[in-house]
Amino acid sequence: MPRPRRSEHTREALIENGIEQLSQHGYHGTGIKKILDAVNVPKGSFYNYFESKEAFVAEIIREYSSQYLKILDDYVESSNEQPLDKIKTIYQFMLEKFSGQNCQQGCLIGSIAAEIGNQSETCQVAMLESVNQSKRRISSLIQQAQDEREIRNDLTAEQITTVFWATWEGSLLKMKMEGSIASAKETLFIMLDHLLKPQADG
């Protein structure tokens, strides 16, 4: 018997609902049945779209990343702000978004990484792809800020990006524990306005 024809609209609906469910409940707290019920898809049809839960989550990660990167790229291209101000605007915007979600959702990819680490190679590959794509964008802005003498240049843009990214993800975990963006905002301010400030000559 031939497999039922897949609907691209249904596949997209499953991914979008999956983003919502994973953001709220995490990897282990998200059941496939709840997503299928929300999209009105029979349980047996799930495997017409995805090979496994891991493959499904990997696609969710890629779609979430694609949506975020499009917003980021559109903003960077259209903004007339200086590079450092662009970085500040991007991360302040995300913090305000997280605040509106009661500080419990944070970065979906960071949350999944904290929950399952490298237990799933399929998800790990998707997470690393996403992180590397995001870091390349931020590294480019940091390099531009260095060229404008807004950020110290005794370290490479890649080195600064690595430290900045780790600090950001750590701040989001603390935000979720505290239920407030105050500490994350302070950390962002200290990092960008003090620790990355150009070194005085002499």
- 90 domain residue, yes or no: yes
Structure confidence at residue 199 (pLDDT): 80
- 202 domain residue, yes or no: no
Structural domain containing residue 180: 8-195
Structure confidence at residue 166 (pLDDT): 92
Strands (E), 27-75: none
- 163 domain residue, yes or no: yes
Which string of DSSP letters, residue by residue, matches 139-198? HHHHHHHHHTTSS--SS-HHHHHHHHHHHHHHHHHHHHHHT-SHHHHHHHHHIIIIITSP
- 3 domain residue, yes or no: no
Percentages helix, strand, coil for the chain, rounded to the nearest 5? Answer: 75, 0, 25
* Lookup: tokens for 127: 């997470």
Residue 102 gets the label, from left (phi > 0), alpha (psi -120 to 50) or beta, of left
- 101 domain residue, yes or no: yes
Structure confidence at residue 1 (pLDDT): 40
- 1 domain residue, yes or no: no
Mean pLDDT by 10 residues, the chain (202 residues): 64 93 88 91 88 94 93 94 96 86 72 88 94 95 97 96 93 86 92 91 50
Q: Report how many domains make up the chain.
A: 1
Taking the C-alpha atoms of residue 133 and residue 154, their distance in angstroms, rounded to an integer, is: 24
- 200 domain residue, yes or no: no
Structure confidence at residue 6 (pLDDT): 62
Structure confidence at residue 102 (pLDDT): 65
* Lookup: tokens for 18: 């999956």
- 12 domain residue, yes or no: yes
Supply the CATH number for residue 18's domain.
Answer: 1.10.357.10
The pTM for the full model equals 0.86
